[in-house]
Amino acid sequence: MLLDSKPYTLDRVVRIGIAVGLLCGLIWLLGYLTDVLIPFAVALLLAYLINPLVLLVQKKLPNRVAAVFISLFAILALVVLLAWLLIPIIVNEVAHMGRILSEVVTKSDLADRAAKLLPPDLWQAVKDYAARKEVQDFFRTDNFWKIAETVARKILPGVWGLITGTASFIMGLVGLAVIGLYLVFLLFDYQKVRQGWKDLLPPAHREGVVAFVGDFDSAMNRYFRAQAAVASIVGVLFAMGFCLVGLPMGILLGLFIGLLNMVPYLQIIGLIPAFMLAFVHVLETGSSLWVILGLTGLIFVVVQIIQDALLVPKIMGRVTGLSPAMILLSISIWGKLLGIFGLLIALPMTCLLLAYYRRFLVSAKARDSTPPSQQI
C-alpha cells in the first residue's frame, strides 16, 4: 500500500516501477493478442458455466468424456428448440413493428391519433426518426439473419469485424469451430486441472494461494452462474408479462431486459423502450394510455419483487458480491483497455483483483497485530 509505514528506499521504488511496467506490458500484450485470445476466453467462460451440468451427468454416468458430449448435446438441442420456437415469433414481431412505423409516417388513422396524443415537436421528431432509411430497412425485412446481421453491426462492431472484416465469413465459421474445440478440451480436463493444480505450488505458499483462489472462485460462482440464472429467469418473466399486456416486440424486449440484468438493476434502463412500445400499442389498439403505461410499469415492479424476494435469496444466497456500480466501472475500464476481450474478462479480472486485495488486507492486519519483538 502507498500509505504503509515502510520507508521508500531506492530499491523499493525500483521494485514498484518494475511492477507497474510489467503490468502495463501485460495489458499491452493482451491487447495485441486479442484476436487469438477471444476464442479461448469465450470457451473458458462457457466451460465454467457448463461444468456443473457435466458433473451432474457424471454422477449418473461415470465416464467423463461421455458426460461432456451428453451435456453439450443437451445444450445444443435446447438452443435449437428455443431458436425453432422463438425465431418465427421474433420475425413476425419485427415485421409487425415495421407495418406500424410505415403507418406512422403516412397519413393514416394511427398517425392522426399519435398527433393528438403527442406535443407537435415530439411528434415531428418521432416521424423523422421513423422515416429514416435504416430504421425502415431494419423493420421491413422478414429474414431473421438480416435482422441479426443489422443488430450485430450496431451493437458488436468489433465482433462483426472479426467475422466479416479482417477475415472472410468462412474464417468466422472456423473461429466458431475453434471455440467449440477449446470448449470440448477444456471440459475434458476441467476436473483434472481443478484438483491437480495445488500440487504444483510450493508448500510454503500453498495455503495462501489456495485461499486466494477460493475467494476468487466464490465470486465467479455468483457472477457467472448465479447471476446468469437470475437474468435468464427475469428475461422470461418480462417477456411473458409484455406478451400478456400485448406490447409489440414484447418477447424481444423481455429477453433484452433479461440480458441487461447480468448487471444487477440495469434492467431499469428497459423502462424507456418499454414505455415507447406501450405508447405504440396504445396507438394501434386505441386503448387507454394510462392503463397500458400503468400495466407496463406494474410488470417491472412485480418482476423486481420476485427477483429480490425469491430469486436472489434462493439462487445467489446471502453472500454479497460486487455492487452494480463496481460492475459497470469494471466493464467500462476493461472494455476501453482491451475491447471485446476486455468485456469478456472484465468481471473475472475484477473479482481476481478484489480477492487479492482482501487477502492483502488480511495479511496486513495480521502483521500489524504481531508484537514488534516477533516481527522479522
The most confident of 81-85, 127-131, 344-348, by mean pLDDT: 81-85
Instruction: With cut-offs at 50, 70 and 90, classify the pLDDT of residue 81.
Output: very high
Looking at the fold, whether 276 and 242 belong to one and the same domain comes out as: yes
Of 365 and 299, more confident? 299
Looking at the fold, whether 196 and 216 belong to one and the same domain comes out as: no
Instruction: Decide if 274 is inside a domain.
Output: yes
Looking at the fold, whether 157 and 70 belong to one and the same domain comes out as: yes
Looking at the fold, whether 275 and 339 belong to one and the same domain comes out as: yes
Q: What percent of the chain has pLDDT over 70?
A: 70
- Last residue of one domain, picked from the residues 200, 225, 247: 200
Q: Which domain holds residue 258?
A: 207-366
Q: How many CA atoms lie within 13 A of 77 on its CB side?
A: 6
Instruction: Note whether 248 and 284 are within 8 A (CB).
Output: yes
Q: What is the mean pLDDT of residues 234-246?
A: 91
Of 321 and 42, more confident? 42
Looking at the fold, whether 169 and 212 belong to one and the same domain comes out as: no
Please check the confidence at residue 103 and state whether its pLDDT lies above 60: yes
- Last residue of one domain, picked from the residues 200, 216, 238: 200
Q: What is the mean pLDDT of residues 178-202?
A: 77
Instruction: Decide if 168 is inside a domain.
Output: yes
Mean pLDDT of the chain: 75
Instruction: Decide if 183 is inside a domain.
Output: yes
Least confident of 91-100, 153-162, 223-232, 300-309: 153-162
Of 43 and 146, more confident? 43
pTM, full prediction: 0.67
Looking at the fold, whether 157 and 216 belong to one and the same domain comes out as: no
Please check the confidence at residue 299 and state whether its pLDDT lies above 90: yes
- Annotate 151-217 with three-state secondary structure: HHHHHCHHHHHHHHHCCCHHHHHHHHHHHHHHHHHHHHHHHHHHHHHHHHCCHHHHHHHHHHHHHHH
Please check the confidence at residue 320 and state whether its pLDDT lies above 60: no
- Last residue of one domain, picked from the residues 181, 200, 219: 200
Q: What is the mean pLDDT of residues 154-183?
A: 58
Q: What is the mean pLDDT of residues 8-13?
A: 72
Looking at the fold, whether 190 and 147 belong to one and the same domain comes out as: yes
Query: What DSSP string describes 93-131?
Result: HHHHHHHHHHHHTSSSHHHHHHHHHS-HHHHHHHHHHHT
The most confident of 128-132, 300-304, 341-345, by mean pLDDT: 300-304
Please check the confidence at residue 53 and state whether its pLDDT lies above 80: yes
Q: What is the mean pLDDT of residues 24-32?
A: 80
What is the structure's pLDDT at 156? 47
What is the structure's pLDDT at 273? 87
Please check the confidence at residue 134 and state whether its pLDDT lies above 60: yes
Please check the confidence at residue 198 and state whether its pLDDT lies above 50: yes
Looking at the fold, whether 91 and 223 belong to one and the same domain comes out as: no
Instruction: With cut-offs at 50, 70 and 90, classify the pLDDT of residue 73.
Output: very high
> For the chain, where are the alpha helices, taking DSSP H only?
10-32, 34-60, 64-104, 109-117, 120-130, 133-140, 144-155, 157-160, 169-196, 203-221, 227-245, 250-260, 271-285, 289-306, 324-369
Please check the confidence at residue 342 and state whether its pLDDT lies above 80: no
Please check the confidence at residue 62 and state whether its pLDDT lies above 80: yes
The most confident of 47-61, 192-206, 218-232, 255-269, by mean pLDDT: 47-61
Q: Beta-carbon neighbour count of residue 280 at 10 Å?
A: 21
Instruction: Decide if 15 is inside a domain.
Output: no
